[in-house]
Amino acid sequence: MYRGFWVLIVSLLTGSVVMAQDNANIAGKWYGAFKLYYGDKYRVILELEKDGAGYKGKLLLPDLPESESLEMETVVYRKDTLLLRVDDVNFTYTGVWDPAVKKFRGVARIGNDDSQIELGRKEIALADIYKRPQEPKPPYPYYTEEVKFNNVKDSVSLGGTFTRPAANGKYPVVILLTGSGPQNRNEEMAGHKLFLVLADYFARNGIATLRYDDRGYGASTGDFESADIYDFSHDALTALGYLKTRKDIDPARIGFVGHSEGASVACIAAANNPAVDFVISMAGVGITGRELVDQQAAAKGRMTGKSDSLILADRQQLKPYWDLLASDRPIAEIRPEAEKMLREIYRNSSADVKKGQTEEELIRDANMTPETLTLLRYRPLTYLKQIKCPFMAINGTADIQVDANTNLKEIERALNENGNLLTTIRKFDGLNHLFQRCKTCDVSEYGELEQTIDPLVPEFMAHWILQLPPAADR
């Protein structure tokens, strides 16, 4: 994380990389892009103006909701070095002028996230941030409709998009269920709109879709932060009930396609539910949430070059904390104990870890939401054993978030041992958690890849859905 920072310091000390520009006038607008962990990028616009012998300025983050100009508390410009600070969003920037490209090169922080940023005079449009050749553009050669349906049980109104082929008829239909965290109907991440691309492919190949914004997000009402995966399953069942009122879908061929957490939501909704005609799990889990935490940490450790012994030591250090969260005790009861554990873990951490985050930031950012806890406590076998409809589970072999071999094996075993032989298990070589053909395959690469999803995946899913017989014929 700090490699770019140390390069910057060395440059300042040696003068071997950059040359001073003798405090040329830097008034006016400067443009850059801030990159987050998963590859999401946000444009950064600086407006600087002369203020006596120095400068003052404003910061604009146009891609964040309800963005407004923020006054800078600090603007320091000495020879080739630019220092900026905005307290409202915990923004800092340290940059050095590079005359070769006529840009400031440096490191920015927004909140707890760091990113290397180049600031230049050329305006950056949103379309310049990402190249997404698979994203469909209107006019579409199929029918789309903005819809609303109500989860009466939870007093939530869900807004989404229904898509089907243009010709009138009754079509098989999939309900697309998003992964963890608040997501819009397109499951938009790092500039990729996975569900938009899937809906487009399905509509062009004889399959309808319903995708909707998570509760409390976009056009949907409710409170996401207080909801758990069982609440999300109620939303999914509400979507299913809504579809059964439509005249342009086949009521005997309605299924769920869930990605990541969405696959768990699909399994909960489909358990002992004859109204669900099929399920597709995309990068879904077959092991418990508690086991998944250790599996993910080990995969990340190996990618960063940690030895097996160090990975094991990290696991042992964090074991009491994760075991506590994974217990069945109420969150209000365990929170003080969990915070005490985190403080002890922080105080025993290395100096490098402490440079990146304060103790209070660690406590504040500890994700003990209902969603996180129910995922951690989720036992997929409980629900898989109750699913009798056709079930497909797919995963990429390069997925470091949900290991393909372990999870697909457990999914298949649970289904087959309880008499569901209508199962299809498929691994896609070289694909990551988003089913992109990856290079490094680390999560930070998601936004760098132009491909939203490998074309083999929607083709495989569509073929499977279309060959399924109606439920009454099974």
Residues 5 and 294: their CA atoms lie apart, in Å, by: 31
Structure-token match 């009754």, residue found: 170
Residues 32 and 43: their CA atoms lie apart, in Å, by: 6
Could you read off the pLDDT of 67-118 as tens digits, one per residue?
Answer: 788 999 999 999 899 999 999 888 999 999 999 999 999 999 988 788 999 9
Q: Are 33 and 182 in contact (CB under 8 A)?
A: no
Q: Among residues 269, 283, 248, which one has the least CA distance to residue 175?
A: 269
Rounded average pLDDT over 378-389 = 96
Q: What's the confidence (pLDDT) of residue 65?
A: 74
Q: What's the confidence (pLDDT) of residue 350?
A: 80
Q: What's the confidence (pLDDT) of residue 37?
A: 79
Of 199 and 314, more confident: 199
- Supply 143's token pair: 């029918």
Domain architecture of the chain: domains with CATH? 3-129 (2.40.128.120), 142-288+378-473 (3.40.50.1820), 289-374 (no CATH)
Q: Are 77 and 54 in contact (CB under 8 A)?
A: yes
Q: Which helix (H) or strand (E) holds 32?
A: strand 28-35
- Computed over every residue of the chain, the mean pLDDT equals 91
- In this structure, the number of other CB atoms found within 10 A of the CB of residue 347 comes to 9
Q: How confident is the model at residue 387 (pLDDT cuts 50, 70, 90)?
A: very high
Q: What's the confidence (pLDDT) of residue 23?
A: 60
- In this structure, the number of other CB atoms found within 10 A of the CB of residue 115 comes to 21
Q: Among residues 33, 27, 91, which one has the least CA distance to residue 59?
A: 91
What Cα–Cα distance (Å) separates residue 132 from each residue in 189, 193, 236, 333, 452?
Answer: 12, 9, 29, 46, 7
Structure-token match 């996975």, residue found: 194
Structure-token match 């940690």, residue found: 306
Q: Are 86 and 97 in contact (CB under 8 A)?
A: no
**Rg of the chain over all Cα atoms, to the nearest angstrom:** 25
Q: What's the confidence (pLDDT) of residue 296?
A: 92
Q: What percent of the chain is predicted at pLDDT more than 70?
A: 94
- Which letter, b or e, does each residue of 5-35 get, where b requires 16 or more Cβ atoms within 10 Å of its Cβ? eeebeebeeeeeebeeeeeeebeeebbbbbb
Q: How confident is the model at residue 13 (pLDDT cuts 50, 70, 90)?
A: very low
Q: What's the confidence (pLDDT) of residue 46?
A: 95
Residues 383 and 387: their CA atoms lie apart, in Å, by: 7
Residues 352 and 24: their CA atoms lie apart, in Å, by: 36
Residues 104 and 121: their CA atoms lie apart, in Å, by: 10
Could you read off the pLDDT of 240-299 as tens digits, one per residue?
Answer: 999 999 999 999 999 999 999 999 999 999 999 999 999 999 999 999 999 999 999 999
Q: What's the confidence (pLDDT) of residue 16?
A: 33
Residues 285 and 381: their CA atoms lie apart, in Å, by: 10
Q: What's the confidence (pLDDT) of residue 358?
A: 83
Could you read off the pLDDT of 201-233 as tens digits, one per residue?
Answer: 999 999 999 999 999 999 999 999 999 999 999
